[in-house]
Each structure stands twice: as structure tokens, then as C-alpha cells.
């Protein structure tokens, strides 16, 4: 697969434990945030999103927390499983002008390794 794991911070967790992946975003005016998961050799896959008028959102086994005061985003994965092993990216939607759709700015990613 592609070497997207090089130079990335790595988080190792025991199977069954909870995982917390952190992300510091850059633009205080960003109003929308997304987490993506990328397994080796595949394209990124949408996990969960949150808008800036919220500070918490829950999905299936995942929770995203947003702290706008310190421009921090976190992804919590409950009861981590081996299939959760992947690189996780946060992305923000900074304000922009002109025509066109959303343009996301992606973080560099964190590699999650689950120990069986």
C-alpha cells in the first residue's frame, strides 16, 4: 500500500480500549470539521463531521469533540477493534470567497495501531 504512514505521529492502543486522536486546526473562522479514516492502500473514508455551533457529536462508536477556544478537535473511538487500525485525518472548512464548493484543508494525520 501507499506509504502514507511515514512521518506520522502514531497512537498504539490495546484492543477493547478507547482511543483518542487529537487534531489542532489552524483557522479560527473555520465552521465545519470532518474526520476521515484511511486504511492502507485505500482512499480516505468519511467518519463523522461537526459544525462549529456544536461542541460534541456522536456516531456509532465514535465521538467528535470540538473546542473552539483552543482550536482543538478530537476523535474518540470506543472499544477499539483491529479493524480501526488506519491513518486518521481531521479536515477543516475555512471561509473562502468566490465560486465553488467547499474546499477542505486536511491535517497530516495520525496513525492508529491496535494491538490484539
Partner 1 sequence: DAGITQSPRHKVTETGTPVTLRCHQTENHRYMYWYRQDPGHGLRLIHYSYGVKDTDKGEVSDGYSVSRSKTEDFLLTLESATSSQTSVYFCAISEREKAGELFFGEGSRLTVL
In angstroms, rounded to a whole number, what is the distance separating the alpha carbons of residues 42 and 99? 30
In angstroms, rounded to a whole number, what is the distance separating the alpha carbons of residues 75 and 59? 11
Q: Which of 15, 81, 102, 115 binds partner 1 (CB under 8 A)?
A: 102
Backbone angles phi, psi at 28, to 5 degrees: -65, -15
Site string for partner 1, 29-68 (x = CB under 8 A): ---xxx-x----xxxxxx--x-------------------
Residues that bind partner 1 (CB under 8 A): 2-4, 6-7, 32-34, 36, 41-46, 49, 89, 91, 93, 98-104, 106-109
Amino acid at each position: 500500500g501507499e506509504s502514507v504512514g511515514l512521518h506520522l505521529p502514531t497512537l498504539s492502543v490495546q484492543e477493547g480500549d478507547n482511543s483518542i486522536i487529537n487534531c489542532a486546526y489552524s483557522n479560527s473562522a473555520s465552521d465545519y470539521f470532518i474526520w476521515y479514516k484511511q486504511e492502507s492502500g485505500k482512499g480516505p473514508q468519511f467518519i463523522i463531521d461537526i459544525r462549529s455551533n456544536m461542541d460534541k457529536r456522536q456516531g456509532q462508536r465514535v465521538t467528535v469533540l470540538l473546542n473552539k477556544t483552543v482550536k482543538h478537535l478530537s476523535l474518540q473511538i470506543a472499544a477499539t477493534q483491529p479493524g480501526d487500525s488506519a491513518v486518521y485525518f481531521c479536515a477543516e472548512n475555512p471561509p473562502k470567497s468566490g465560486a465553488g464548493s467547499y474546499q477542505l484543508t486536511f491535517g497530516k494525520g495520525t496513525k492508529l495501531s491496535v494491538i490484539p
